[in-house]
């Protein structure tokens, strides 16, 4: 071993030991407990629980088209039904701050993610988006956004097909 390699090792040894201490199982458990006790962890859990409900607030006066891909603040969605159930203002302000109905009421709409085929069939917006479209909470996607979302959806479908093939 060349002499300068030993010197380099001696110089880096404190960082190596510190990394080894951080990787100890007890230290990792302690860090995980402190993360779970933080208020940010509770906020992330609440956001995930809201996402799992697969509902999105829409203005009562401007519901989205059903069974067509539209863009929202959480990405492309296909709305399957508008329940008519009123959105509590606290939930809308906490989880959906970008959706504003103005004087109208917000109601829940049930959604699902679009497939690649549905995104391919989606017609892009012909005009630029206005602030009213963004405030409404849903809009027709532009061609640039559609291309990116189609690429992501195709990648996800290929990954699912690969997983199914490996499982069989």
pLDDT in tens, 38-49: 889 999 999 999
Strands 55-59 and 106-112: antiparallel
**Residue 89: domain span:** 52-167
Nearest CA among 158, 168, 153 for reference residue 69: 153
Q: At what angle do helices 3-22 and 25-36 cross, to 10 degrees?
A: 50
Q: What is the model's pLDDT at position 10?
A: 87
- Of the pLDDT bands very low, low, confident and very high (cuts 50, 70, 90), residue 9 is confident
Quote the radius of gyration of the chain (alpha carbons, Å). 24
pTM exceeds 0.85: no
Query: How many domains does the structure of the chain reveal?
Result: 2
101 within some domain: yes
* Cα–Cα distance measured from residue 17 to residue 11, given in angstroms and rounded to the nearest whole number: 12
- pLDDT band of residue 103 (cuts 50, 70, 90) is confident
62-93 pLDDT tens trace: 899 999 999 999 999 999 999 989 999 999 99
Within a domain: residue 42? Answer: no
């Amino acid at each position: 071993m060349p002499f300068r390699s030993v010197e380099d090792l001696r110089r880096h040894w404190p960082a190596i030991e510190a990394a080894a201490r951080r990787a100890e199982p007890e230290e990792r458990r302690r860090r995980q407990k402190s993360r779970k006790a933080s208020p940010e962890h509770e906020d992330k859990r609440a956001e995930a629980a809201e996402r799992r409900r697969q509902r999105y607030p829409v203005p009562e006066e401007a519901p989205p088209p059903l069974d067509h891909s539209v863009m929202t603040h959480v990405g492309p969605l296909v709305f399957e039904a508008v329940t008519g159930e009123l959105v509590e203002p606290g939930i809308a302000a906490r989880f959906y701050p970008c959706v504003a109905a103005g004087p109208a009421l917000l109601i829940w709409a049930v959604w699902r993610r679009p497939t690649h085929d549905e995104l391919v069939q989606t017609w892009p917006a012909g005009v630029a988006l206005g602030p009213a479209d963004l405030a409404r909470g849903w809009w027709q996607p532009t061609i640039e956004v559609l291309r990116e979302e189609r690429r992501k959806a195709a990648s996800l479908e290929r990954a699912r097909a690969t997983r199914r093939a490996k499982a069989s």
